[in-house]
Amino acid sequence: MTIVGVLALQGSFNEHIAALRRVGVKGVEIRKPEQLQNVGSLIIPGGESTTMAKLAEYHNLFPALREFVKMGKPVWGTCAGLIFLANKATGQKAGGQELIGGLDCTVHRNFFGSQIQSFEADIAVPELSSKEGGPETFRGVFIRAPAILEVGPEVQVLADYPVSSNEEFDSNSADGVQEGNTVSEKRVIVAVRQGNLLATAFHPELTADTRWHSYFLKMLADVREGSSSSVVSIGTDSHLNQLRIDFPIYQ
């Protein structure tokens, strides 16, 4: 059984650990920098990103997290975790928050609105379906969710979502909506992969569908092939500079 670290400062880390258990993997809570040395991959869960950032700063986790990403170890950020991994975030509160960085994208915090505007939607996931089987759509749970407005050339878009006519881009982020390898004015990106980094604006851990967790584990297997020393196992198993800027399970 492989060990996967789950950042456990705040948010839905227990739900990720439960989802990992359902696919036969052990998830361990990570709260201190030295604990990262015992895992070969990491999930940064959804939650309140400002609170998580303050706790990470208090525990001096940011340098270790940036080094973890820089070493090429698989990291998956969901919702708030996506914000942490982005190189740039807009729609922030005054003073912004510290980011890990590494993911070449611009993310808008709370793009879809406040807590009461949270929603569920079926999103097309051709890459996930191709690799993991199952339906061609995934039930996305969006809770005060961010959205990706722009991505770099090395970022693979895995899913996007249509923006209805009554939704408008925040004025602070409108400049990031361009032609080329970016979102259009009518769609925003909600899932991406760049090398060892995976990010989703929604919460797969709050559903019974474990395909995103299986997809992430295959990323870990890819790293294993290149570096046999990067993973801790308990059995057998079928520009990162400083940047400023308890849920139900849905069937």
Coil/strand/helix, residue 6: strand
Q: What is the spatial distance between Cα 157 and Cα 68, in angstroms, rounded to a whole number?
A: 23
48 is in an annotated binding site: yes
3 is in an annotated binding site: no
| Residue of 188, 184, 194, 222 lying closest to 86 (CA atoms) | 194
Cα–chain-centroid distance for residue 145? 11
Q: Is 164 left (phi over 0), alpha (psi -120 to 50) or beta?
A: beta
Active-site choice (16, 105, 108, 203) = 203
The single residue listed with the structure tokens 């790293």 is 223
Active-site choice (79, 105, 108, 213) = 79
139 is in an annotated binding site: no
Question: Does residue 98 carry a catalytic annotation?
Answer: no
The single residue listed with the structure tokens 């939704």 is 167
Q: Is 79 left (phi over 0), alpha (psi -120 to 50) or beta?
A: left
Cα distances (Å, whole numbers) of residue 155 to 88, 193, 195, 206, 210? 14, 6, 8, 25, 23
244 is in an annotated binding site: no
Q: Which residues contact 87 (CB under 8 A, 6 or more apart)?
A: 99, 101, 102, 103, 104, 105, 106, 239, 243
109 is in an annotated binding site: yes
Active-site choice (16, 105, 150, 205) = 205
Question: Does residue 108 carry a catalytic annotation?
Answer: no
Which residue ranges make up the annotated binding site for L-glutamine?
Answer: 47-49, 109, 143-144
Residues designated catalytic: 79, 203, 205
Which residue ranges make up the annotated binding site?
Answer: 47-49, 109, 143-144
